[in-house]
């Protein structure tokens, strides 16, 4: 179906630093920029038919976190904002139980999700986004 090596080959196209840990999980590091001034670490896990992303920003501790997590989830379909141990993270998972094309995995399951995760952090503190 899909492997960590396959997912890593796709993320290598973005030039994002990465490594695979002893558990076989892929770790990515997105560098801070003008849109979001904090590095974002993303852990990519594969468990049977599930491809999951867990992302958390470095040194970012927004005030009113519980309220902002709820507001973020009202505004976005994905990823899901989560408060874990008083810290912010973004999560998203795919369940893929049948064969899909490599193009689908790259475009939908990797490129689109990683972009959405970054945008979720960029927009997290913004008050000027209309709620849908």
Q: What is the pLDDT along the chain (132 residues), one digit of tens a residue?
A: 789 999 999 999 989 999 999 999 999 999 999 999 999 999 999 998 999 999 999 899 999 999 999 999 998 889 999 999 999 999 999 999 898 999 999 999 999 999 999 999 999 988 765 554
pLDDT the model gives residue 130: 58
pLDDT the model gives residue 129: 59
- Cα 4–chain centre separation: 15
pLDDT the model gives residue 77: 85
Ordered domains of the chain (ranges, CATH)? 4-120 (3.30.1460.10)
Please give the biggest Cα pair distance in the chain. Answer: 43
pLDDT the model gives residue 41: 97
DSSP letter at 130 equals P
Average pLDDT score over the chain: 92
Neighbouring-strand partners of residue 53: 44, 92
**DSSP calls for 33-47:** -SS--S-EEEEEEEE
pLDDT the model gives residue 132: 47
pTM assigned to the model: 0.91
Nearest to 57 by CA among 68, 48, 46: 68
Cα separation of 15 and 33, whole Å?
Answer: 15
């Amino acid at each position: 179906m899909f492997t960590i090596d396959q997912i890593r080959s796709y993320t290598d196209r973005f030039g994002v630093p990465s490594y695979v840990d002893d558990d076989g999980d892929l770790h990515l590091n997105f560098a801070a920029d003008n849109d979001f001034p904090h590095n974002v670490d993303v852990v990519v896990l594969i468990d049977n038919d599930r491809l999951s992303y867990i992302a958390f920003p470095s040194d970012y501790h927004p005030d009113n976190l519980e309220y902002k997590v709820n507001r973020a989830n009202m505004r976005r379909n994905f990823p899901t904002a989560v408060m874990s141990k008083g810290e912010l993270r973004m999560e998203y998972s795919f369940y893929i139980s049948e064969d899909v094309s490599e193009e689908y995995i790259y475009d939908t399951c990797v490129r689109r999700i990683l972009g959405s995760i970054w945008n979720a952090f960029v927009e997290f503190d913004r008050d000027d986004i209309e709620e849908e």
